[in-house]
């Protein structure tokens, strides 16, 4: 069943739950750029992994990579490796992956989960703030933007959405549940309700163009008036309060831009998505909601609604119960069991393997969706899967698990396992390399002391 | 723990008007006598934003929508267990878009009713009559922005009407309402900065009062009182306070506050391992939420003393919830007030919602329960485990009792340092399983519910929850902590200055002094400097 949009005009005639045919009026208003757009995607899963079951084994058979020894390859870079049990679901895509191990996911402020998820994409420590941590003074939001937001700013793509933050059961609005930051202290909350995504992000695809034009003019008037009030009241409050109002004003300006920008569709694969009814917050709907979100994400890329997106599965300290894997325990509780608890370790491997399946599922979707200029969406996309911790029971972030997929239109060589063990490098170098891979020529990222340059051997 | 907030259900209630016992200390205009307040420094006053709870209730008043419409907003950042802590707030484009979407729905609802639209200004603006449109803008603005519009504001909104009144006047009116509901004057609570500490102006004080006592914007009567300057005197302020405290809404606000303080507002997202807790169904958590809401509402109506919250051996249940607890069905249909066994039950401490939230999915948790008592009732949260420790909840072994499973906490000296603060309190709850149901045995042995309360002003041996509750009711530290919790909620911030601590001790004295209860403490709050005065701040 599809939800009924409040803006629906053409939809719902006869009550048929079928996606609208492609609207003629939405055909290209500009011709396609010569270079296909690069896209960036981040996926998060929580509570660390089981490193022994995550790290690939070097050597072995690997049809997709260079056979034999790795002569000529940098030390620690392997093209011949066997995927670990956890990453096995990604086997069909092994030649498109880069597995990265041996970096420290540095963080600061708050406790390990807090600064783990806060620093994971920002490479920055947390400011002091109001959120109570465990074993640390209360912390707030990170001191800088996340890597995807730096990329979005660098790309400055003419898409309606600067970036799209999706999530599945992300829970409370604190620094344990946020990973994307537009700037210091500006978390971008993920939308974890598929119907809300449908109604807001895809409204252009199910609204009559004439009505849409009218709505745009009206939205512009309303948001202009609202913006003027934020400016007005900003002059009547203290400096600290004015900062809050200015941040709100910036958010108003951003949606104004989006709600008044015409969507240019030039990909026949772009169509109005269907969103089945589901209780988005019920534990057992977790896989279903995630699947819908990945469908929506794929369509958002196909329609070029955005070129930067993320999917946040639950949150750090996630207590999702993987009942569909016959695991009734809360994930975070499980993640604290000792390494010698074989039952718990087996369950944690199952959970992390399930997340690898989801990553593989998204790669499948992108690979099976044509891009506007030929090829598939996957060809020009760079994907990162990361975790706030390396190990759940120690909160260690040494050897944090990173999986890259795709080559961003040829910016990096894939089919490799890169180990940086013993080199004392922080993950800031990885984040910077990703920014460079996306064509943004920065020379540092995040906390300056944690970054020594783009990760060697990746690009 | 994942904390998915749902709107907390509050049952309607009615109670007799409160007889005030505090009056002006210095004005000499009333005959009652009040204790002098020790704090004169108002403390910091960061700009606050309407919480989703307050936003929904305000929108309902203004436009007739259901308050649950606020579920369309991203959740409030929550810290110290409360949803209204100003420093925690952030805003994103998603927020802005949600405000737009919800405001449009609310505006359409209002303009969809010609009676409601006409009632706003006393004339029908949908014909486009310029005078009536202007009256509508001014009248709606005054309610939404909680003060009369300035002429600049009035002009800006009339201009917006002009730009959007197509195809018809209703479109313009809808746009104006939608804009006003997204403006900072509605969403935030801006208060003009001052260079020396001085009283909050009348309308801002009315806003503070209405949101504090009713969780919604001021009503017409309160706005009129503000316009007359009534709130500038303590007697005028208290007259409005007593009027608002007599409304059902004050009770709903109390339920909202207490549910956050007791950490039970998350019950609707709690689930149990159903192979171990076979009677737990999808209907259980909502029923437990309903039960606690009615318990708190009843307490508010009949004397919300700290002792009632901690000890009252009563609750509310229907036949189905009674069956879940293994109790006889109450007489009468639906939820009924029932007397519980006072040797077992003790107020909030044995509410099913509280017991289930403070437990694991597959077992009880003496740690979570003991920690709650320390952190939320004594305001002395135990230190967290050292980062080097592998913290693993014990594997559920049906042959071992909870006490045996947690034995390492006392055997291991490193663990024991902190767990002796928590577990021995939590063991007193062992007769209540992770689903909040009474049990006589654990691992086929009779439950041992003995424990100790140590390091407090009311130390003693425990055997069951009522023994703990009895100690807590005599504790000055618990009273002070309850007042601290209310202070944080009321002022949207942590206690920071010596004046704050002083204010809290005043509140605690009102809570537990002769005839004291939460209602009197709430009333006392409005007399405080932190409530009535603004601190000096740098000019913008």
**At residue A60, does pLDDT exceed 70?**
no
**Sorting pLDDT into bands at 50, 70 and 90, what band is B356?**
very high
Domain count, chain B: 3
Of B182, B271, B393, the CB nearest to A336: B393
B302 falls within a domain? yes
> Are residues A242 and B540, on separate chains, in Cβ contact within 8 Å?
yes
Specify the residue for token string 């309160």: B222
- Given a cut of 70, whether residue B5 has pLDDT beyond it is no
Chain B: residue whose CA lies nearest to A185: B90
Question: In chain B, what residues touch A130 (CB-CB under 8 Å)?
Answer: 77, 79-80, 85, 87-88, 494
Listed by number, the residues of chain A in 143-172 with a beta carbon closer than 8 Å to a beta carbon of chain B are 165, 169, 171-172
A 349-378 → B contacts, CB under 8 A: none
DSSP string, A193-262: -HHHHHHHHTGGGGS-HHHHHHHHHHHHHHHHHHHHHHHHHHTTS-HHHHHHHHHHHHHHHHHHHHHTSP
Q: Which of A237, A255, A314 sits opposite B193 (nearest CB)?
A: A237
Q: Is A279 on the interface with B (CB under 8 A)?
A: no
Specify the range with the lowest mean pLDDT, choosing from A109-113, B33-37, B475-479, B508-512.
B33-37
Tell me how far apart the alpha carbons of residues A140 and A130 are, in angstroms, rounded to a whole number. Answer: 6
Compare A259 and B114 and report the one with higher pLDDT: B114
Residues B418 and B522 in one domain: no
pLDDT over 60 (residue A5) = no
Q: Cβ contact (<8 Å) for A252 and B182?
A: yes
- Compare B77 and A156 and report the one with higher pLDDT: A156
Same domain, B320 and B467: yes
In a domain, B77, yes or no: yes
* Residues in A touching B267 (Cβ below 8 Å): none
Alpha helix segments (H runs only) across B93-245: 93-111, 114-121, 130-144, 151-164, 169-180, 184-187, 202-214, 220-228, 234-245
Tell whether the model's pLDDT for residue B2 goes beyond 50: no
B308/B405 same-domain check: yes
Structure tokens at A142: 């990170």
- Rounded to 10 degrees, what is the CA torsion of B46, B51, B57, B63? 80
CB atoms within 10 A of CB A65: 18
pLDDT number for residue B72 = 83
In whole angstroms, give the CA distance from residue B501 to residue A40: 50
User: Is the CB of A281 less than 8 angstroms away from the CB of B96?
Assistant: no
Q: What is the pLDDT of residues B266-300, one digit of tens each?
A: 898 888 888 889 999 999 999 999 999 999 999 99
pTM of the model: 0.81
Q: Find out whether B109 and B181 touch, Cβ atoms under 8 Å.
A: no
A144 close to A124: Cβ distance less than 8 angstroms: yes
Cα angle at B209 between B216 and B176, to 5 degrees?
45
- B 146-165 residues with CB < 8 A to A: 152-153, 156-157, 159-160, 163-164
* C-alpha span between B8 and B292 (Å, rounded): 10
Residue of B175, B190, B494 lying closest to A236 (CB–CB): B190
Rounded distance between C-alpha atoms, residue A247 and residue A241, angstroms = 10
Same-domain pairing of B273 and B241: no
Q: Could you give the CA distance from residue B356 to residue B292 in angstroms, rounded to a whole number? A: 12
- Mutation to test the A interface, candidates B90, B105, B190, most A Cβ within 10 Å: B90
The pLDDT of residue B385: 67
pLDDT of B312 reads 97
**Quick one: pLDDT at residue B394?**
65
The SS3 assignment for A387 reads strand
Local structure of A419: helix, strand or coil: strand
Q: Which range (A23-32, A97-106, B87-96) has the least confidence?
A: A23-32
Spatial separation of the C-alpha atoms in residues B200 and B183, rounded to whole Å: 21
Q: Which of residues 395-434 of B touch A (CB under 8 A)?
A: 395
Residue B22 lies in a domain: no
| SS3 at position A42 | strand
Q: Under DSSP, is residue A179 helix (H, G, I), strand (E, B) or coil?
A: coil
Q: List all residues of chain A from 289 to 328 with a beta carbon under 8 Å from chain B.
A: 314-315, 317-321, 328
Chain A within 8 Å of B387 (Cβ-Cβ)?
A: yes
In Å, how far are A413, A416, A419, A433, B174 from A73, measured between CA atoms?
Answer: 12, 10, 12, 19, 66
Question: Is the distance from CB of B456 to CB of B477 less than 8 angstroms?
Answer: yes
Chain A CB contacts of B185 below 8 Å: 229, 233
Specify if B145 maps to a domain: yes
| CA dist B64 → A170, B104, B106, B110, B169 (Å) | 31, 13, 8, 6, 20
Instruction: Say if the Cβ atoms of A281 and B4 lie within 8 Å.
Output: yes
A214-227 pLDDT per residue, tens: 888 999 999 999 99
A6 CB contacts (<8 Å, ≥6 apart)?
A: A199, B105
ipTM of the complex: 0.87
Kind of pairing between the strands at A39-45 and A381-387: parallel
Cα–Cα distance between B393 and B391 in angstroms, integer?
Answer: 7
Contacts of A182 in chain B (CB under 8 A): 92
| Encoded tokens for A318 | 């996630």
- At the top level of CATH, the class of A32-197+273-450 is alpha beta
A296 has pLDDT over 90: yes
In chain A, where the domains are located = 1-19+203-267, 32-197+273-450
Does some domain include residue B94? yes
Q: Supply the pLDDT for residue B395.
A: 67
DSSP for B25-50? SSS--SS---PPPS-------PPEE-
Position A12 pLDDT exceeds 90: no
Bridge partners (DSSP) listed for residue B199? B533
pLDDT band at A75 (very low <50, low <70, confident <90, very high): low
Confirm or reject contact between A191 and chain B (CB < 8 A). Answer: yes
Size of interface A-B (CB pairs under 8 A): 215
Between CA A316 and CA A165 the distance in angstroms is 16
Rg (CA), chain A: 22
Look at residues B417, B438, B473 and tell me which one is the last residue of a structural domain: B473
| Pair (B57, B79) in one structural domain | yes
Specify the long-range contacts of residues A69-73, CB closer than 8 Å, at least 24 apart.
Answer: none
In this prediction, residue B386 has a pLDDT band, given cuts at 50, 70 and 90, of low
Residue B41 token pair: 């420094």
Chain A from 195 to 224: CB within 8 A of any B CB = 196, 199-200, 218-219, 221-223
Residues B112, B176 within the same domain = yes
Question: Which candidate from B152, B274, B361 shows the least CB-CB separation from A329?
Answer: B361
- Phi and psi at residue A382, to the nearest 5°: -120, 125
Query: pLDDT for B397-425, tens place per residue?
Result: 778 888 888 887 878 877 887 888 899 99
The gap from C-alpha A247 to its chain's centroid, in whole angstroms, comes to 23
* pLDDT of amino acid A83: 95
Is-cis flag, bond preceding B387, omega within 30?
A: no
| Confidence band for B110, pLDDT divided at 50, 70 and 90 | very high
Q: What is the pLDDT of residue B329?
A: 96
* Domain final residue, candidates B169, B190, B211: B190
Domain co-membership, B236 together with B302:
no
* Cα B309 to chain centroid, rounded: 15
Question: Minimal Cα distance from A47: which residue of B?
Answer: B1
> How many helices and strands (H and E) does chain A possess?
10, 14
Output B46 or A39, whichever has higher pLDDT. A39
pLDDT at position A147 is 98
Q: Assess whether B210 and B315 both reside in one domain.
A: no
Interface list for A 369-428 with B (CB within 8 A): 393-395
pLDDT higher at B497 or B330: B330
DSSP state of B376: I
Would B360 be classed as within a structural domain?
yes
| Residue-number span of the structural domain to which B129 is assigned | 48-190
Query: Using the beta-carbon criterion (under 8 Å), do A236 and B192 form an inter-chain contact?
Result: yes
CA distance A218 to chain B (A): 6
| Contact residues, chain B, for A232 at CB < 8 Å | 152-153
- The answer to whether A286 touches A320, Cβ cutoff 8 Å, is yes
Closest CA to B205 of B503, B530, B540: B530
Q: Is the pLDDT of residue B7 over 80?
A: no
Q: Does B201 touch chain A (CB under 8 A)?
A: no
Q: How far apart are CA B293 and CA B348, in angstroms?
A: 11
Residue where the block lists tokens 């049952």: B11
pLDDT over threshold 80, residue A24: no
């Amino acid at each position: 069943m599809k939800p009924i949009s409040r803006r629906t005009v053409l939809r719902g005639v006869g009550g048929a739950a079928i996606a609208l045919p492609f609207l003629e009026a939405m055909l290209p208003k500009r011709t396609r750029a010569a270079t296909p757009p690069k896209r960036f995607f981040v996926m998060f899963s929580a509570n660390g992994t089981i490193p022994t079951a995550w790290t690939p084994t070097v050597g072995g058979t690997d049809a997709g990579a260079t056979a034999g020894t790795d002569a000529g390859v940098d030390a620690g870079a392997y093209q011949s490796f066997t995927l670990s049990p956890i990453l096995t679901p990604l086997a069909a895509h092994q030649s498109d992956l880069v597995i990265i191990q041996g970096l420290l996911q540095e963080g600061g402020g708050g406790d390990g989960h807090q600064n783990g998820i806060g620093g994971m994409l920002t490479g920055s420590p947390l400011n002091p703030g109001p959120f109570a941590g465990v074993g640390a003074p209360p912390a707030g939001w990170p001191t800088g933007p996340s890597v995807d937001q730096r990329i979005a700013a660098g790309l400055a793509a003419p898409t309606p959405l600067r970036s799209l933050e999706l999530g599945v059961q992300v829970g409370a609005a604190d620094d344990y549940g946020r990973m994307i930051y537009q700037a210091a202290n500006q978390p971008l909350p993920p939308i974890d309700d598929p119907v809300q995504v449908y109604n807001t992000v895809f409204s252009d695809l199910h609204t009559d163009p004439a009505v849409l034009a009218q709505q745009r003019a009206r939205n512009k008037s309303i948001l202009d008036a609202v913006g003027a009030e934020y400016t007005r009241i900003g002059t009547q409050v203290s400096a600290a309060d004015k900062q809050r109002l200015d941040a709100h004003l910036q958010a108003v300006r951003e949606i104004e831009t989006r709600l008044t920008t015409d969507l240019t569709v030039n990909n026949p694969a772009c169509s109005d998505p269907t969103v089945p009814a589901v209780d988005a917050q019920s534990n057992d709907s977790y896989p279903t909601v995630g699947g819908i979100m990945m469908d929506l994400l794929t369509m958002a890329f196909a329609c070029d609604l955005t070129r930067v997106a993320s999917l946040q599965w639950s949150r750090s300290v996630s207590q999702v119960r993987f009942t569909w894997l016959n695991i009734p325990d809360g994930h975070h509780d499980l993640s604290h069991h000792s390494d010698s608890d074989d039952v718990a370790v087996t369950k944690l491997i199952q959970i992390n393997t399930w997340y690898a399946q989801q990553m593989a599922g998204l790669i499948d979707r992108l690979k099976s969706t044509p891009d506007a200029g030929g090829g598939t969406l996957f060809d020009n996309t760079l994907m990162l899967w990361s975790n706030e911790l390396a190990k759940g029971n120690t909160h260690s972030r040494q050897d944090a698990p990173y999986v890259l997929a795709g080559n961003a239109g040829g910016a990096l060589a894939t089919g490799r396992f890169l180990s940086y063990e013993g080199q004392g490098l922080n993950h800031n170098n990885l984040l910077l390399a990703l920014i460079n891979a996306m064509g943004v020529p920065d020379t540092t990222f995040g906390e300056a002391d944690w970054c020594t340059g783009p990760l060697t051997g990746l690009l | 723990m994942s904390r998915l907030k749902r709107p907390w259900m509050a049952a309607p209630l009615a109670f007799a008007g409160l007889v005030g016992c505090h009056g002006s200390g210095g004005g000499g205009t009333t005959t009652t006598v009040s204790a002098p307040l020790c704090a004169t420094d108002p403390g910091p006053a960061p700009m606050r934003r309407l919480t989703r709870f307050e936003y929904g209730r305000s929108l309902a008043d203004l436009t007739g929508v259901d308050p649950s419409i606020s579920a369309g907003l991203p959740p409030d950042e929550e810290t110290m267990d409360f949803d209204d802590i100003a420093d925690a707030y952030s805003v994103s484009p998603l927020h802005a878009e949600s405000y737009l979407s919800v405001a449009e729905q609310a505006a359409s609802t209002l303009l969809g009713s010609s009676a409601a639209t006409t009632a706003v200004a006393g004339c029908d603006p949908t014909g486009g009559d310029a005078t009536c449109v202007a009256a509508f803008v001014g009248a709606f603005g005054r309610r939404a922005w909680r003060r009369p519009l300035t002429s600049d504001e009035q002009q800006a909104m009339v201009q917006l009407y002009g730009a959007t009144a197509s195809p018809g006047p209703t479109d313009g009116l809808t746009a104006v309402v939608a804009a006003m509901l997204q403006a900072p004057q509605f969403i935030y609570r801006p208060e003009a900065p001052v260079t020396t500490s001085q009283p909050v102006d009348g309308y801002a004080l009315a806003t503070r009062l209405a949101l504090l006592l009713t969780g919604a914007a001021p009503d017409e009567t309160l706005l009129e009182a503000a316009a007359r300057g009534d709130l500038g005197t303590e007697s005028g302020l208290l007259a409005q306070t007593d009027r608002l405290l007599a409304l059902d809404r004050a009770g709903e606000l109390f339920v909202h506050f207490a549910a956050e303080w007791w950490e039970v507002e998350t019950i609707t997202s709690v689930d149990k391992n159903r192979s171990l807790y076979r009677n737990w169904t999808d209907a259980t958590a909502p029923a437990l939420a309903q039960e606690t809401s009615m318990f708190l509402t009843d307490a508010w109506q009949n004397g919300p003393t700290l002792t009632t919250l901690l000890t009252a051996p009563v609750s509310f249940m229907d036949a189905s919830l009674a069956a879940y607890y293994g109790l006889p069905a109450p007489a009468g249909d639906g939820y009924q007030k029932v007397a519980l066994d006072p040797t077992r039950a003790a107020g909030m401490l044995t509410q099913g919602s509280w017991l289930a939230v403070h437990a694991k999915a597959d077992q009880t948790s003496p740690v979570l329960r003991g920690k709650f008592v320390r952190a939320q009732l004594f305001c002395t949260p135990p230190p967290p485990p050292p980062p080097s420790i592998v913290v693993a909840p014990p594997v559920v072994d049906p042959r071992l009792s909870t006490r045996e499973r947690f034995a390492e906490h006392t055997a291991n000296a490193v663990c024991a340092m902190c767990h002796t603060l928590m577990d021995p309190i939590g063991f007193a709850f062992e007769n209540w399983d992770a689903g909040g149901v009474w049990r006589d045995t654990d691992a086929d042995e009779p439950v041992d519910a003995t424990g100790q309360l140590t390091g407090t002003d009311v130390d003693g041996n425990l055997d069951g929850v009522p023994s703990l509750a009895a100690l807590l009711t005599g504790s000055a530290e618990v009273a002070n902590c309850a007042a601290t919790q209310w202070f944080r909620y009321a002022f949207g911030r942590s206690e920071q200055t010596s004046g704050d601590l002083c204010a809290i001790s005043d509140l605690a004295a009102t809570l537990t002094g002769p005839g004291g209860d939460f209602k009197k403490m709430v009333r006392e709050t409005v007399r405080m400097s932190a409530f009535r005065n603004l601190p000096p701040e740098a000019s913008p």
